[in-house]
Amino acid sequence: MKNSKKKKKNAKKQKMRNQEKTYHARSFKTKILECQVDNDVENF
């Protein structure tokens, strides 16, 4: 019983970590896009 509880806890942690990674990657991409838009506006 104890082992299965531990496994569930670790799975939850892993899920959270993966979500954080995808979130950071996504925000990084949007930042790059925003920079590109700013540059396009300046070039006008």
pLDDT of residue 27: 78
Q: Tell me, rounded to whole angstroms, the distance of Cα 36 from its chain centroid.
A: 21
Domain assignment present for residue 2? The answer is yes
Domain assignment present for residue 4? The answer is yes
pLDDT of residue 36: 76
pLDDT tens digits, 1-44: 577 788 888 888 888 888 887 777 777 778 777 777 777 776 65
Per the structure, the count of domains in the chain is: 1
pLDDT of residue 43: 63
| pTM for the whole structure | 0.41
Domain assignment present for residue 42? The answer is no
Residues 6+ apart with CB under 8 A from 27: none
Question: CA dist 22 to 9, 18, 31, 34, 40, Å?
Answer: 20, 6, 14, 18, 27
Write out the residue range of the structural domain in which residue 14 sits: 1-36
